[in-house]
Amino acid sequence: MSKQQLIVVGKISGLFGVKGWVKVYSFTEPRENILSYSPWTLKKGMDVKQVTVLDGSLHGKAIVAGLAGITDRDLATALIGYEILIDANRLPKPQEGEYYWRDLIGLQVETEQGVMLGIVDYLLETGSNDVLVVKGERERLIPFLQGQFVKKIDLQAAKMIVDWDPEF
């Protein structure tokens, strides 16, 4: 049995209707996948609670969800701002050549010539492709295009090899 590792998959961002439903900003892809990971662990500061998702759907760009025990707007209002966490082991295993962002963050990035550029601090979603934000002696934005700029990813060694001009 592997140890539980909680990861953030969304945030409760608002209210929906008068029966205690909440609006959710989902980090999952597609967005509505967040509904299939019930129960959720909700966390805000030091406050942590477990909730079961009873129902939910895509509503415009947001997800709306009905949660067990949350039956009116007052109870739902108290949940605004809570992060939604799930056990990382519940996520599907990525296919060969696919990676979760969380697996890339913290990787050491170096050029094919062995020049250390820094560490992946976070990623940006730009629409056309994701961008690695690499922090070293300065910050670099490197398009996450495997084969073109990203040549090799070794999660065991926590290293990424890129075809990137260190001066850029």
Domain definitions of the chain by residue range = 6-90, 101-162
pTM above 0.75, yes or no: no
Question: What's the rounded Cα separation, in Å, for the pair 106 and 134?
Answer: 9
CATH superfamily of 6-90: RimM (2.40.30.60)
Q: How far is CA 58 from the centre of its chain?
A: 18
* 101-162 CATH fold: SH3 type barrels. (2.30.30)
Residue 1 pLDDT exceeds 50: no
Does residue 102 register a pLDDT over 50? yes
Q: How confident is the model at residue 40 (pLDDT cuts 50, 70, 90)?
A: very high
- How far, rounded to the nearest angstrom, does the alpha carbon of residue 143 sit from its chain's CA centroid? 18
